[in-house]
Amino acid sequence: MSYMVKRFTVDDMYCKTILSLDSTYNRQHVFTVLCMLRLKEVEGMSELKELRLKIMDLETQNQVSNNQLKRKGDEVKRLAESLEECRKSEAEVQTELRESQRRYRYIDRAQRFLTQVRKD
């Protein structure tokens, strides 16, 4: 009889040491263990694919969110610039209004003075 010792490792767990004898039972047992290991591998690969798909989905959502944030940031910047322009324009109009009121008072005083001078 010839003996062969094989050791399989899966997920840091050691499967039992299998002594392979030239018997049909041991070959069938080895085949069963290999099939179970293959099934675990396929399940692991399936989980890995699912996780990769989830990562891709999350990365896509992240990119969409980043794009939305960028657009909102651009809009806020544009609105802030527009607000600043409106404030400058309002300040200019206020200055013009004060100047017009000053001129009106001056003209009104001058007109009253001329009216008084003509009466005298």
User: Per the confidence metrics, is the pTM higher than 0.85?
Assistant: no
18, 30 contact by CB (below 8 A): yes
Considering only CA atoms, which of 18, 42, 44, 40 is closest in space to residue 31? Answer: 18
Q: Where are the domains of the chain?
A: 4-119
C-alpha 46/C-alpha 80 separation (Å) is 50
Along the 120 residues of the chain, how does pLDDT read in single tens digits?
A: 344 444 444 443 444 444 444 566 677 888 888 899 999 999 999 999 999 999 999 999 999 999 999 999 999 999 999 999 999 999 999 999 999 999 999 999 999 998 988 887
C-alpha 80/C-alpha 77 separation (Å) is 5
Which helix (H) or strand (E) is 5 found in, with range? strand 4-6
